[in-house]
Amino acid sequence: MTKAERASFIDRRLAELYPETPIPLDHTNPFTLLVAVLLSAQCTDVRVNKVTPALFALADHPDGMRQVSVEEIDAIVRPCGLAPRKAQNIHDLSGLLVDLHGGEVPADFEALEALPGVGHKTASVVMAQAFEVPAFPVDTHIHRLAQRWKLTTGQSVVQTERDLKRLFPKEHWNGLHLRIIFYGREYCSARGCDGTVCEICRTLFPKRHRGVETKKA
């Protein structure tokens, strides 16, 4: 198969496997999604979803959250790891959202990435999932699978994102990035598959007999 043919098969097969693409992080509005995505850095979605109900019970909008002390936020989000920095960022970005954006999460990449603790991936998730703006956030699962499927050389997440955007229709990006994550967790995990085990790897590369060493992001 050519790279374009592999991409077409992946797009079609993942849509069959995952016709629905529920957002893994529990949230009720763009602000709670932003906070949840920030907390998910180096932490599982499952753990984040256990922590956020207590946090959002205190405040689920920027004006309320900026009135919660960093110490209170820290105590709640501690199970997510990197708690002191995440707590400070949540507190600070809440204040900035009120002061600069009228208490609303901006639907703008540049404005989002200017907030404390919000990098390109976090901004992409919020743009895609809160505002339905086409984006292709690349996490560790997507970076790994894109290499196993020879859709990118995987030199960096920036390159992986650029390569995937070129291969797949723009209108598919928001659902497809979630489908790749779902598949990576369920069938093509870091330890469960080495590029020779799961259905898609075997279909794309039937003659591959040696595992693929992937570059970390």
- Residues serving a catalytic function are 121, 139
- For residues 102 and 188, state if they share a domain: no
- Reading phi first (left if > 0) and then psi (alpha if -120 to 50, else beta), residue 117 is in left
Q: Where are the beta strands (DSSP E) in the chain?
A: none
How far apart (Å, rounded) are the C-alpha atoms in residues 60 and 39? 14
Q: What is the 3-state secondary structure (H, E, C) of 151-192?
A: CCCCCCHHHHHHHHHHHCCHHHHHHHHHHHHHHHHHCCCCCC
Are 9 and 205 within 8 A, CB to CB?
no
Q: What range does the domain containing 198 cover?
A: 3-20+136-204
pLDDT values of the chain reduced to their tens digit, one per residue, 217 residues: 999 999 999 999 999 999 999 999 999 999 999 999 999 999 999 999 999 999 999 999 999 999 999 999 999 999 999 999 999 999 999 999 999 999 999 999 999 999 999 999 999 999 999 999 999 999 999 999 999 999 999 889 999 999 999 999 999 999 999 999 999 999 999 999 999 999 999 999 999 989 988 887 6
Residue 29 amino acid letter: N
Domain boundary among 90, 108, 131: 131
Q: Are residues 39 and 121 in the same domain?
A: yes
Based on the domain organization, do 109 and 171 belong to the same domain?
Answer: no
Residue that is last in its domain, among 131, 151, 168: 131
